[in-house]
A = this chain, B = another copy of it.
Amino acid sequence: MRVYLAGPEVFLPDAAAILAAKADLARGHGFDPVTPLDNELPAAADRLALGMSIYRANVALMDGCNAIVANLTPFRGIGADPGTCFELGYMTARGARIAAYSNDPRGHFERLQTGFYGGAARPDRTGEHRGPDGLSLENFDMFDNLMLHGAAAGAGGILVVARDGAPLSPDRLARDTDSFAECLRRLRGSA
C-alpha cells in the first residue's frame, strides 16, 4: 500500500528529518510511504510559479497513492492545517484508505470555547453555543470540524486522537509519533 503522509511537518525547521523518521516508521509497518518533500521541482520563474509547481507535484504524489495518513493536530490556531484538510478531502473523493490523527486530546468544542473564545461562548435561544462574534460552535463530540472527523471516522476510516493526559509541549504536539504509529498499526491490521 502506497501511503501519502500529509501534515504540517513541512513547516518545521527540521522538516526533512521528521518526515524521514515518519517514512521509516511507515516502511517498518510494511507500507510504501510518500511525503510532500518527495518531489523534484522544475526551475520556476517566480514565487507564484514555484507555489503552483509544488501544488501540482503534491497532487501527482497523491494520485500515486491509495492511502493517506493525515496529521490533523491543530496548527497555528484552533484546528488542522488547511493544506492537509484539502488533501484529506482529495484522497476521500479518490476512494483512498483514510487514516487521520491528532496529537491534541482536546475536542473541537473545547478548543473553541476555552482557547478561542476564552469561555465567552453562550447558548443562544435554540441551545446552540455562539461566540460574542455571533458565530456558532460545532458541538458534536468531534476532534475538529465535522468534515474532517466524518471522513476519518466514517466507514473504512481510521481516526486516532491522543489520549487525555498531561498536555504535550508545542514541540511534542508538532513531532510526537505515537498516534501516527497507531494509525499505521490499524491500517496494516485492516489492509
Interface residues of A (CB under 8 A from B): 10-13, 46-48, 50-52, 54-56, 58-59, 76-83, 85-94, 112, 116, 124, 130, 133-136, 138-142, 144-151, 153-154, 170
A83-B148 contact, Cβ under 8 Å, with A76-B116, A93-B89: yes
Which B residues touch A130, using CB under 8 A? 13
Q: Which of B89, B134, B138 contacts A86 (CB 8 A)?
A: B89
A46 CA to B154 CA in the complex, in Å? 16
Which B residues touch A51, using CB under 8 A? 138, 140-142, 146, 149-150
Best-buried of A11, A51, A138 by chain B (most CB within 10 Å): A51
Which B residues touch A52, using CB under 8 A? 146, 149-150, 153-154
